[in-house]
Chain A
């Protein structure tokens, strides 16, 4: 019963694709320096709408973990580095555990779980801190001196935990928004 069926796996694919398209649309804003650190704020806020609908279809352990892992793999393919695979898998499993503790029905646990899940985006910032020098050089060559300088001043080893907390808080807020929209639209339309 607890094993994932083909149907569940297809659902994982569908919702991960929607989530990722939403994220890519937001990530395009990342070319303006101030928006890069804001990604961890904006993606959870808007992605919450997708994830809350997804959560209503999740009944088994493993689906949210897979979503996290696959988001990480896609991040690697779109050139954001390999850290996201690790953070995606870790926070995906954690979010899954939170959801499981609510028996996949509790709305509150769903919101908290989305907060936990949203922290995976931190993986995109880790290279900025872990390999700071080479990342800086590469930013200069890729985007020019000004962009590189402002990114470096926004994100440092000190702001990383702050961003992680921001991810969680915004994930929770996004979850609340998501559930409101879910009730307003999706439930009425009968697709949930």
Chain B
């Protein structure tokens, strides 16, 4: 059975982190690894941040995932460190482009994947409530995270159907192509969305009273450790800015 994203029921996982910690990690990785902000000092720190998804994967006993992750990131890192000075011209460009791509995107995507996979919708809502975000943000955000995989799945299914009928890119019919792909995807998604809407309303979303939540959410030792890591990541560019470069 496929593992659901943002499932409604909790599955056994290794290290259980507070959803807020996961979100903090996700933002930190997005800022300092994915978009590479913060200058040279942060760049030295990036591999440490990139190790976070690996730790989470290992504690989850997802061996296959951790091996793939390690090979992709570690391989690119080593290649960039040792092979780059000896290359020039086109190979150099290729190595820079491919390694740069992997080193930037793999940690972010992995962290995002772990976040949505190990968090249930209720936990997500509960933690956002604890952050005192307004309902106007919480509801759309939780719908989006729940809905992303659905849209992608529909998109792929429609792509397959169109391929079967011989409608594909090329042949100078880009606009027709777009119409045939996009319109069905939107239609499906809207239909599914309407059902989601009805389901959510029967569960009392949008009612006048305050909703309760049975999820127990709180910070533990492991949360403190990872949050400290985030603080360090944010502190590095600030400290370098103050002390002068």
Binding site for B on A (CB under 8 A): 4-7, 9-18, 20-22, 25, 46, 49-50, 53, 62, 66, 69-70, 73-74, 76-82, 134, 138, 141-147, 181, 185-186, 189, 191
Contacts and interface: CB of A to CB of B under 8 A. Distances in A.
Q: Is the interface of B mostly helix, strand, loop or mixed?
A: helix
A37 B33 CA distance: 23
B78 interface: no
Given A9-B135, A21-B152, A181 B179 contact: yes
Nearest to B148: A17
Contacts of B37: 81, 134, 138
Contact of B96 (A6, A53, A144): A144
Among A79, A145, A181, find the residue whose CB has the most chain B CB atoms closer than 10 A: A79
Contact of A13 (B35, B142, B206): B142
A14 B196 contact: yes
Given A7-B201, A66-B140, A81 B148 contact: no
Interface of B: 26-27, 30-31, 33-37, 39, 43, 92-93, 96-97, 100-101, 104, 108, 112, 135-137, 139-144, 147-148, 151-152, 155, 178-179, 182-183, 185-187, 189-191, 193, 196-197, 200-201, 205-207
B141 A17 contact: no
Given A66-B136, A143-B97, A191-B191, A10 B143 contact: yes
Among B135, B182, B201, find the residue whose CB has the most chain A CB atoms closer than 10 A: B182
